[in-house]
Amino acid sequence: MKAEAARLGFATVGFAPAADDALRTARLHDWIAAGHHGSMQWMEDRVDVRQGPQSMWPEARSVIALGMSYAPEVDPLALQGEAEKARISVYAQGRDYHDVVKKALKALARWLVAEAGRRGLDEPSLKVFVDTAPVMEKPLGEAAGIGWQGKHSNLVSREHGSWLFLG
Protein backbone atom coordinates (compact mmCIF):
# COMPACT_ATOMS: atom_id res chain seq x y z
CA MET A 1 0.00 0.00 0.00
CA LYS A 2 2.83 2.39 0.76
CA ALA A 3 4.24 1.93 -2.75
CA GLU A 4 0.83 2.65 -4.31
CA ALA A 5 0.40 5.72 -2.10
CA ALA A 6 3.82 6.98 -3.20
CA ARG A 7 2.92 6.36 -6.85
CA LEU A 8 -0.18 8.52 -6.33
CA GLY A 9 1.93 11.36 -4.93
CA PHE A 10 1.80 10.84 -1.18
CA ALA A 11 5.08 11.55 0.57
CA THR A 12 4.24 9.80 3.82
CA VAL A 13 1.83 7.15 5.10
CA GLY A 14 1.02 6.01 8.62
CA PHE A 15 -1.55 3.89 10.40
CA ALA A 16 -3.40 4.37 13.69
CA PRO A 17 -6.28 2.77 15.57
CA ALA A 18 -9.62 4.49 14.91
CA ALA A 19 -10.62 4.29 18.58
CA ASP A 20 -11.31 7.58 20.32
CA ASP A 21 -8.32 8.69 22.36
CA ALA A 22 -8.91 10.12 25.85
CA LEU A 23 -5.91 12.50 25.69
CA ARG A 24 -6.88 13.89 22.26
CA THR A 25 -10.47 14.29 23.47
CA ALA A 26 -9.35 16.12 26.64
CA ARG A 27 -7.12 18.46 24.60
CA LEU A 28 -10.00 19.20 22.23
CA HIS A 29 -12.35 20.03 25.10
CA ASP A 30 -9.68 22.25 26.73
CA TRP A 31 -9.09 24.03 23.41
CA ILE A 32 -12.82 24.69 22.96
CA ALA A 33 -13.22 25.77 26.61
CA ALA A 34 -10.38 28.27 26.17
CA GLY A 35 -12.26 29.80 23.23
CA HIS A 36 -9.54 29.04 20.70
CA HIS A 37 -12.18 28.12 18.13
CA GLY A 38 -13.10 31.83 17.89
CA SER A 39 -16.25 32.41 15.86
CA MET A 40 -16.36 28.85 14.55
CA GLN A 41 -19.37 27.91 16.68
CA TRP A 42 -19.92 24.76 14.65
CA MET A 43 -16.76 23.32 16.26
CA GLU A 44 -18.25 23.69 19.71
CA ASP A 45 -21.68 22.51 18.56
CA ARG A 46 -20.25 19.29 17.07
CA VAL A 47 -17.43 18.62 19.54
CA ASP A 48 -18.87 15.18 20.32
CA VAL A 49 -18.26 13.88 16.77
CA ARG A 50 -14.78 15.43 16.60
CA GLN A 51 -13.48 13.19 19.40
CA GLY A 52 -12.40 10.46 17.01
CA PRO A 53 -13.42 8.47 13.96
CA GLN A 54 -15.48 6.02 16.01
CA SER A 55 -17.61 8.90 17.28
CA MET A 56 -18.97 9.15 13.73
CA TRP A 57 -18.43 5.57 12.53
CA PRO A 58 -18.48 3.08 15.41
CA GLU A 59 -17.44 0.30 13.01
CA ALA A 60 -14.19 2.09 12.06
CA ARG A 61 -11.10 0.10 13.04
CA SER A 62 -8.14 1.86 11.46
CA VAL A 63 -7.02 5.22 10.17
CA ILE A 64 -4.69 5.56 7.21
CA ALA A 65 -3.06 8.98 7.54
CA LEU A 66 -1.39 10.34 4.43
CA GLY A 67 0.64 13.43 3.69
CA MET A 68 1.18 14.98 0.26
CA SER A 69 4.10 17.40 0.07
CA TYR A 70 3.61 20.90 -1.27
CA ALA A 71 7.16 22.02 -0.51
CA PRO A 72 8.26 24.78 -2.88
CA GLU A 73 11.16 24.32 -5.28
CA VAL A 74 12.52 27.74 -4.28
CA ASP A 75 12.85 29.10 -0.75
CA PRO A 76 9.88 31.49 -0.34
CA LEU A 77 11.98 33.69 1.95
CA ALA A 78 14.25 34.49 -1.01
CA LEU A 79 11.63 37.04 -2.15
CA GLN A 80 11.39 38.68 1.25
CA GLY A 81 13.60 41.64 0.33
CA GLU A 82 11.77 42.35 -2.95
CA ALA A 83 8.90 44.59 -1.83
CA GLU A 84 7.70 45.14 -5.41
CA LYS A 85 6.83 41.44 -5.80
CA ALA A 86 3.62 40.04 -4.42
CA ARG A 87 3.91 37.08 -2.12
CA ILE A 88 1.27 34.37 -2.12
CA SER A 89 1.21 31.59 0.44
CA VAL A 90 2.89 28.50 -1.00
CA TYR A 91 -0.13 26.25 -0.46
CA ALA A 92 -2.31 28.63 -2.52
CA GLN A 93 0.01 28.78 -5.54
CA GLY A 94 -1.13 25.48 -7.07
CA ARG A 95 -4.44 23.80 -7.75
CA ASP A 96 -6.92 23.57 -4.87
CA TYR A 97 -5.37 21.00 -2.55
CA HIS A 98 -8.80 19.64 -1.59
CA ASP A 99 -9.29 18.50 -5.20
CA VAL A 100 -5.73 17.23 -5.69
CA VAL A 101 -5.54 15.24 -2.46
CA LYS A 102 -9.12 13.93 -2.65
CA LYS A 103 -8.52 12.62 -6.18
CA ALA A 104 -5.43 10.73 -4.98
CA LEU A 105 -7.28 9.46 -1.88
CA LYS A 106 -10.13 8.11 -4.01
CA ALA A 107 -7.63 6.40 -6.33
CA LEU A 108 -5.94 4.79 -3.32
CA ALA A 109 -9.33 3.69 -1.96
CA ARG A 110 -10.18 2.06 -5.31
CA TRP A 111 -6.79 0.31 -5.25
CA LEU A 112 -7.41 -0.96 -1.69
CA VAL A 113 -10.81 -2.37 -2.68
CA ALA A 114 -9.29 -4.07 -5.75
CA GLU A 115 -6.37 -5.40 -3.72
CA ALA A 116 -8.74 -6.86 -1.11
CA GLY A 117 -10.61 -8.60 -3.94
CA ARG A 118 -7.37 -9.99 -5.40
CA ARG A 119 -6.50 -11.42 -1.99
CA GLY A 120 -9.96 -12.91 -1.42
CA LEU A 121 -10.73 -10.55 1.47
CA ASP A 122 -14.00 -8.80 2.25
CA GLU A 123 -14.39 -5.45 0.55
CA PRO A 124 -13.28 -2.75 2.97
CA SER A 125 -15.58 0.12 3.87
CA LEU A 126 -13.59 3.31 3.28
CA LYS A 127 -14.13 7.03 3.77
CA VAL A 128 -11.78 9.73 2.46
CA PHE A 129 -11.37 13.25 3.85
CA VAL A 130 -9.33 16.35 3.15
CA ASP A 131 -10.20 18.63 6.09
CA THR A 132 -13.87 18.50 5.10
CA ALA A 133 -15.20 16.37 7.95
CA PRO A 134 -15.07 16.71 11.73
CA VAL A 135 -11.99 14.52 12.12
CA MET A 136 -8.83 15.72 13.82
CA GLU A 137 -6.37 15.10 10.98
CA LYS A 138 -3.31 16.47 12.75
CA PRO A 139 -3.65 14.47 15.99
CA LEU A 140 -4.51 11.38 13.93
CA GLY A 141 -1.44 12.00 11.78
CA GLU A 142 0.60 12.22 14.95
CA ALA A 143 -0.90 8.96 16.26
CA ALA A 144 -0.06 7.36 12.90
CA GLY A 145 3.58 8.43 13.25
CA ILE A 146 3.82 10.79 10.27
CA GLY A 147 4.71 13.80 12.41
CA TRP A 148 3.68 15.82 15.44
CA GLN A 149 1.47 18.85 15.91
CA GLY A 150 3.62 21.94 16.27
CA LYS A 151 2.90 25.11 18.22
CA HIS A 152 1.77 26.69 14.94
CA SER A 153 -0.90 23.94 14.90
CA ASN A 154 0.33 22.30 11.68
CA LEU A 155 1.63 18.76 11.52
CA VAL A 156 5.43 18.75 11.39
CA SER A 157 7.33 15.89 9.78
CA ARG A 158 11.05 15.26 10.32
CA GLU A 159 11.38 14.55 6.61
CA HIS A 160 8.96 17.09 5.09
CA GLY A 161 8.70 19.88 7.66
CA SER A 162 5.21 21.36 7.77
CA TRP A 163 4.79 21.25 3.98
CA LEU A 164 2.17 18.49 4.02
CA PHE A 165 -1.44 18.40 2.94
CA LEU A 166 -3.19 15.75 5.05
CA GLY A 167 -5.76 13.19 4.03
Catalytic positions are 131
Whole-number Å distance between alpha carbons of 4 and 16: 19
Whole-number Å distance between alpha carbons of 156 and 142: 9
Contact 115/126 with Cβ under 8 angstroms? no
- The upper half-sphere exposure of residue 156, i.e. CA atoms within 13 Å in the direction of its Cβ, equals 7
In a 3-state reduction of DSSP, which class is residue 7? Answer: helix
- CA 159 to chain CA centroid, nearest Å: 16
Q: What is the DSSP letter of 23?
A: H
Whole-number Å distance between alpha carbons of 15 and 141: 8
Whole-number Å distance between alpha carbons of 13 and 8: 12
